[in-house]
Homo-oligomer: A and B are copies of this chain.
């Protein structure tokens, strides 16, 4: 039956994707071979190409779905309104929440962003990250203008610290909410409190 076939196809595609996610997270994108993924998925390497055009398509889907969610969440946070501080709080919470659901993507992005960014294939990653950076920077700059946040700290720089700190956190085994809490505390009030 047509539907059953479609469902099967989709189910297997998801299995492969999930396996790839795990392996990329564990070993890194480049260190994981297509055959590794096929073996761990219970299919043969040739069959992978029924589901995905290439290894790049695979990681692209993993990364894109992370960035898509991230952008969606961030846009939602900003749309909700509120002062800069509470917005930042919700951005941080959103960041760790998304990371929790896309650990592999966070890890790969953290480890291999530089490498991937050089490939034309992944130009759209750069664009998406630029939008994210813009959202954060805008919030911070608004806080500086309103006097909520100190004026002597660069928004873009701060975002970068945040971005890398969040991704790095994917490597640590610690509940997302706890990480988010500590991170926010540090970000807003610093070690001196």
Q: State the A residues within 8 Å of B (CB).
A: 27-28, 30-31, 85, 88, 107, 111-115, 118, 140, 143, 148-150, 152-154, 157-158, 160-161, 163-165, 167-169, 171-172, 174, 179, 182-183, 185-193
Report which of B164, B167, B172, B191 forms a contact with A188, defined as CB distance below 8 A: B191
Task: Give the number of copies in the complex.
Answer: 4
New A-B pairs, 19, CB < 8 Å, besides A165-B165, A189-B190: A27-B115, A28-B114, A85-B192, A111-B115, A114-B171, A150-B192, A152-B182, A153-B182, A157-B172, A157-B179, A158-B186, A158-B191, A160-B168, A160-B169, A161-B161, A186-B187, A187-B190, A188-B190, A188-B191
A122 to chain B, nearest CB (A): 14
**Interface SS of chain A:** helix
Q: Let me know if B30 and A191 touch, CB within 8 A.
A: no
When distances are taken between beta carbons in the complex, the residues of chain B under 8 Å from A115 are 27-28, 30-31, 111
A137 and B180 alpha carbons, distance in the complex (Å):
20
When distances are taken between beta carbons in the complex, the residues of chain B under 8 Å from A158 are 182, 186, 191
Q: What 5 A-B pairs come out closest when comparing CB atoms?
A: A150-B193, A190-B190, A164-B168, A189-B190, A161-B165
A114 and B113 alpha carbons, distance in the complex (Å):
14
Query: Which of A28, A30, A179, A193 neighbours the largest number of chain B CB atoms within 10 Å of its CB?
Result: A193
A171 to chain B, nearest CB (A): 7
A-B contact pairs, 5 of them (CB 8 A): A148-B192, A149-B191, A149-B192, A160-B168, A161-B165
